[in-house]
Structure 1
């Protein structure tokens, strides 16, 4: 699956220098996604971004659209039925003849038995994607005051490294194939964080990604900027974009190219990526009349990371299958949990001294027609009062080292640390 240095160096250099690598990686998904519900003037997307207010609003920007939901018309209950069935029931109950299809927006957690944070807003405003809005390039006004953050790493880096080493030893003994181990940064400040300003900085740092801010529980807000689409459905077509295998970016162009090429040729990362793509294929195939899976991964870049990426597309066999049906069949992928899934879940519970909550769950939207987009909840934090908890994880396989995985999580933290004005 690897590509040679000769084949890739020129193309990667060109993409980095001209700023097109990330956009090219999303091109197929963008072609298959629906247009925003209403055509609007330039500046409409940034207007929704500027209008976001915590507690009452739900904001989501994707490479295809921007939405802002305000208020709560209904919430999705928590019971033993599949989440997709509960969402379908709520949305069907709100359908009105001649009115637009109602929309549910929010997040589902990593743990299958934990309550969701899904609601139908009173109003939903739509706009084109942020990446197409010329005003997104304008800097966020700053009052000159840098927040004072106290930062605590949980677990400490050395403890995280020990957990990685223990998992590697068990994999080499044949117990399981992969596990994703995460760690957190607990940030506290004398004042409540300015969540709208954080959201604006996250969106401007990567306007072609998936930026979100939604209530995640009483007094809590989930906020972040994920690079990874779990699955989108538009009519009879689906798109999934699994990411697995990562490398930190460099501010030096030559070094950035070297890291990108090394990632494309890394046996460890290519194997990790292939495991995830195989799982996605297996999960989606039963729903599809046809499924297209490229043989080789490409690169997606964020401001902090390079990722191996594969865009999977398919034609859905049953028109009654919704976006959340598909997302639930995929969740959790080996990219956020591991394989075999139940063994990996057990290792995560033994190794991580915190509750993941919404981290590595999914966040997104779905309308009453079954169309929607669900994103893997990574590069995120949960805000509550004067505290923020940031999350980052790394895929651990038999070839992993504690030093490399600790460095990878540190690099992934940078997306959010930049938004909050803190450092590690």
Structure 2
């Protein structure tokens, strides 16, 4: 089977059909897949090394796919927060790319498709989370590290199994400018979400990234909303947190880049619920053998997802968080056999399996962070998914 490029297809008019495989939407290039040629669960701990085991395996899988008649194979899926854990990647039998402006997404889902919630549990609860944040603040004030990202889950049990296609329909309709993803998982269920953050996009030798760090809640009143954005832009705490991310990314990308542009001043972007500090990074690779996944693995996880320095932050995360993040805080996307592709950060997301849903949100903790404020920030981030369930 072979892939088809941008197309006119009634599939775009049937949203539920798109959610039978991997679905990824982006303002650059969107795609949907059918079937599975082979799965790849190898951890990407050496995925940034062009001559490493993972990249060699990937090229072997691409070669096998071409031998079986897949002319231009593509790798899709997700990589966990901890790169030592198994990946959730596969090469589909076929795929189509499309312009997401052509995607027919009904603006409302029938009420009967909304799940009736039996139980909602915060993991950890309010007191445990604010205690975690207080410990992380103390660690940054001691100079143990500069920043750590702490997260929490919302564990939801529903009366009936969740219709993931209806859920995705609501996610896309309510967050039209985000990156949307639906990934069937090997153990059943799906990873779904609307990420605002581009980890890495590559086309030819050109690449770009747009890290987010520092956020503030949107306001209903337009004047207060603009003021919230201006306050964020002028916040020493949030600007410091953001600079830690962009400085680390500049240092990481520089040796692999022929050209690299990292602005010194961030810009403001918005989602439906939050203002974010963002920096548009652009560059050109030094080695034409680089691919979208090798660069994404080079960056992942950025200080926006773990902290800085990374190893110290990861140890503190393991000590404080009462769960394994798995795919939460990872990356999701695609890479073709020509090296082009796009990977976004797995945030504003959840996993759905039958009648159980887990939602994920995190916040960057620095020396000036306030535990109660971080609880509220993660709550606002969870709103993206809770609204999709009709539960906000």
Deviates more, 1:140-149 or 1:402-411: 140-149
Aligned to 1:70: 34
Shift of 1:44: 6.8
Alignment partner of 1:140 is 2:108:
yes
TM-score, length-scaled by structure 2: 0.92
After superposition, the C-alpha distances for 1:1-51 in whole angstroms (9 at most, x for unaligned) are xxxxxxxxxxxxxxxxxxxxxxxxxxxxxxxxxxx973445x878436442
Aligned pair in 2 of structure 1 residues 329, 145: CA closer, same or farther (>3 Å)?
closer
Instruction: Select the residue among 346, 351, 365 that pairs with 1:382.
Output: 351
Structure 2 residue corresponding to 1:360, chosen from 321, 329, 333: 329
Counterpart check, 1:101 vs 2:69: no
Instruction: Tell me the residue number matched to 1:38.
Output: 5
Whole-Å separation in 2 of the counterparts to 1:193 and 1:112: 29
Look up the match of 2:127: 158
CA distance in 1, matches of 2:374, 2:151: 10
Question: For residue 401 of structure 1, what is the aligned residue in structure 2?
Answer: 370
CA contact (8 A) 2:7 2:96 kept: no
RMSD (Å), alpha carbons: 2.0
Q: Which runs of 5+ in 1 are unaligned?
A: 1-35
1:325 corresponds in structure 2 to 294
- What is the TM-score with the length of structure 1 in the denominator? 0.86
CA contact (8 A) 1:59 1:213 kept: yes
Map residues 337-352 of structure 1 onto 2, 5 A cutoff: 337-352=306-321
Which residue of 155, 174, 178 corresponds with 1:205? 174
Contact 1:297 1:310 in 2 (8 A): yes
Structure 2 counterpart SS, 1:95 = helix
Q: Is the 8 A contact 1:362 1:375 kept in 2?
A: yes
Q: Distance in 2 between matches of 1:283 and 1:48?
A: 42
Q: Distance in 2 between matches of 1:135 and 1:112?
A: 36
1:51 aligns with 2:17: yes
Find the residue that maps to 2:22 and give its secondary structure.
Answer: strand
Q: Using a 3 Å threshold, how does the CA distance of structure 1 residues 322 and 194 change in structure 2: closer, same or farther?
A: same
Q: CA 1:176/1:189 → structure 2, altered by over 3 Å: closer, same or farther?
A: same
CA distance in 1, matches of 2:186, 2:365: 30
8 Å CA contact retained: 1:168, 1:400: yes
Matched residues in 2 for 1:216 and 1:414: separation?
A: 24
1:380-414 per-residue CA deviation (whole Å, 9 max, x = no partner) reads 10112210010000000000000111110000000
8 Å Cα contact 1:242/1:277 also seen in 2: yes
> Which residue in 1 is equivalent to 2:51?
none
Structure 2 stretches lacking a partner, 5+ long: 48-53
Closer/same/farther in 2, CA of residues 47 and 66 from structure 1, 3 Å limit:
farther
Q: Which residue is 2:245 aligned to?
A: 276
Relative to structure 2, which stretch is displaced further, 218-227 or 395-404?
218-227
- Report how many residues are paired: 382
Corresponding residue number in structure 2 for 1:20: none
Deviation at 1:342, TM superposition (A): 0.8
C-alpha distance in 1, partners of 2:150/2:186? 24
- Structure-1 separation of matches of 2:70 and 2:350: 35
Contact map agreement 1:77 1:86 (CA 8 A) in 2? no
SS at match of 1:112: coil
Superposed CA offset, 1:354-399 (max 9, x none)? 1101011110001011110011110110112210010000000000
Paired position in structure 2 for 1:19: none
* Cα distance in 2 for residues equivalent to 1:220 and 1:314: 37
**2:266 maps to 1:297:** yes
The partner residue of 1:315 within 269, 284, 287 is: 284
1:61 corresponds to which of 8, 11, 25: 25
Cα deviation code 1:44-65 (max 9, x no counterpart): 78436442234xx111101112
Q: Write out the 4+ residue segments of structure 1 that deviate beyond 6 Å after TM superposition.
A: none
Whether 2:82 is the aligned partner of 1:114: answer no
